[in-house]
């Protein structure tokens, strides 16, 4: 019965999101394929970026040592590992957030599969976290049917710290296994992206710990993106209108819930049809920021 329900759900969501999946594939190709190229390197008289280490010798040589530019000279062996993590807590059953989350998951998984840029995994989280589809298994329609049937949106709360801890462990294990498997093919560089799909509401007590975990992930070239499903963008129960209580010098203060939000990379998703444009624009900006930091 569960398999039949999963198959019916998967077929339904594919029909709803087929146009979005195709657009997402096309948009992400523009964003991700340049990242597949090699890093900037070399000593050239012209190029894409100045090698700052060469500037002082260049000046000291009376501008004769002018090979100070770097170029992308050869394709790099870069592999993407993309995790889709969905909040399975009961708050997601309100306002059809769960339905929108499953639409977003279907769009992402089908779009990424069409793009053929790497491996996909799926987890669900709430009070506990469960790996529903591993990186080392191809994401087929059978896999989609099996995965989508396992969401009930009945977990009592969202334990975000435990979720992020577990996700980082899964990512490190997957990277180690893939690096070992690809060692014969030369030095492969792995970029790991996690799309957390949630209503964005969780215990406010652990914000500093959450922020630290996300910083740890970034240091490991792991980008954690929060997609906040928010169909009520202009209504009272939107996350934009939600307040949280803080205690300052013994006084109770109401502050916007998104103030000091621990996720540096998050976007509001009012409906799944907007996912391709929202996601590709955001990823483009985030990748540029990551490249500037590296």
Q: What is the CATH number of the domain that holds 147?
A: 3.40.50.410
| CA dihedral over 168, 170, 171, 173, signed as positive or negative | positive
Write out the residue range of the structural domain in which residue 67 sits: 39-71
Same domain, 66 and 179: no
Average pLDDT value for residue range 214-240? 86
* Mean pLDDT, rounded, for 130-159: 94
In whole angstroms, give the CA distance from residue 264 to residue 196: 13
What pLDDT is attached to residue 212? 96
Average pLDDT, rounded, for the chain:
85
Q: For the chain, how many residues are written? A: 294
> In total, how many domains does the chain have?
2
Which of 22, 47, 71 is the C-terminal boundary of a domain?
71
**Among all chains, which residue has been given the structure tokens 């492969």?**
188
Answer yes or no: do 45 and 110 share one domain.
no
Tokens (6 digits) for 144: 């989609």
Give the pLDDT score at 48.
Answer: 65
What pLDDT is attached to residue 35?
61
> In which band, very low, low, confident or very high, does the pLDDT at 79 lie, cut at 50, 70 and 90?
confident
CA dihedral 159, 161, 167, 172 (to 10 degrees): -160
Q: Does the pLDDT at position 171 exceed 70?
A: yes
155 and 192 share one domain: yes
Local confidence band at 11 (pLDDT 50, 70, 90 cut-offs):
very high
The confidence band for 2, taking pLDDT boundaries of 50, 70 and 90, is low
Distances (CA, A) of 154 to 91, 124, 138, 200, 245: 8, 12, 28, 16, 26
Res 116: pLDDT: 80
CA distance from start to end of the chain: 49
pLDDT at 245: 82
65 or 15: which leads in pLDDT: 15
132 and 62 inside one domain: no
121 contacts 86 by C-beta, under 8 angstroms: no
State the pLDDT confidence band at 156, using cuts at 50, 70 and 90: very high
Does one domain contain both 46 and 113?
no
Residue 197, strand partner residues: 86, 227
Mean pLDDT, residues 186-191 taken together: 70
Q: Do 220 and 250 share a structural domain?
A: yes
Residues 31, 45, single domain; the answer is no
Domain co-membership, 15 together with 56: no
C-alpha 102/C-alpha 16 separation (Å) is 11
Same domain, residue pair 30 and 155: yes
**66 compared with 146, residue with greater pLDDT:** 146
Number of helices (H) and strands (E) in the chain: give both, helices first.
7, 11
Tokens linked to 191: 């970029």
Confidence label for 184 from pLDDT (cuts 50, 70 and 90): low
User: Do 114 and 237 sit in the same domain of this protein?
Assistant: yes
Cα–Cα distance measured from residue 161 to residue 230, given in angstroms and rounded to the nearest whole number:
22
What local confidence, expressed as pLDDT, does residue 154 receive? 94
Of 80, 53, 93, give the one whose Cα is nearest residue 69: 53
Write down the residue that tokens 């306002």 correspond to: 95
pLDDT confidence of residue 37: 57
Identify the band that residue 217 occupies on the pLDDT scale cut at 50, 70 and 90. very high
Residues 94 and 231 in one domain: yes
The string of pLDDT tens digits covering residues 104-141 is 999 999 998 988 878 999 999 999 999 999 999 999 99
Distance from C-alpha of 133 to C-alpha of 104, rounded to nearest angstrom:
16
> pTM here?
0.81
- My answer on whether 9 and 95 are in the same domain is yes
């Amino acid at each position: 019965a569960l398999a039949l329900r999963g198959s019916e759900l998967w077929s339904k969501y594919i029909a709803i999101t087929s146009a979005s999946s195709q657009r997402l594939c096309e948009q992400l190709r523009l964003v991700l394929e340049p990242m597949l190229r090699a890093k900037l390197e070399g000593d050239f008289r012209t190029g894409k970026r100045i090698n700052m280490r060469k500037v002082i010798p260049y000046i000291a040589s009376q501008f004769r040592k002018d090979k100070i530019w770097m170029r992308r000279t050869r394709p790099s062996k870069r592999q993407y590992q993309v995790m889709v993590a969905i909040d399975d807590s009961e708050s997601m059953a309100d306002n059809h957030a769960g339905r929108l989350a499953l639409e977003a998951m279907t769009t992402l998984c089908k779009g990424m599969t069409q793009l053929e840029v790497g491996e996909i995994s799926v987890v669900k989280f709430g009070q506990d976290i469960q790996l529903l589809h591993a990186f080392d298994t191809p994401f087929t329609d059978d896999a989609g049917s099996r995965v989508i049937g396992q969401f009930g949106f009945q977990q009592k709360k969202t334990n975000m710290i435990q979720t992020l801890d577990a996700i980082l462990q899964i990512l490190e294990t997957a990277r180690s296994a893939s690096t070992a498997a690809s060692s014969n093919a030369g030095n492969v560089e792995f970029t790991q992206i996690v799309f957390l799909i949630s209503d964005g509401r969780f215990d406010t007590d652990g914000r500093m710990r959450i922020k630290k975990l996300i910083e740890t992930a970034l240091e490991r070239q792991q980008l954690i993106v929060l997609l906040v499903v928010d169909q009520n963008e202009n209504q009272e129960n939107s996350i934009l209108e939600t307040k949280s209580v803080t205690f300052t010098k013994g006084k109770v203060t109401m502050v916007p819930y998104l103030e000091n939000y621990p996720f540096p990379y998050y976007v509001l998703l009012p409906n799944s049809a907007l996912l391709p444009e929202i996601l590709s624009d955001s990823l483009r900006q985030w990748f540029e920021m990551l490249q500037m930091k590296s």
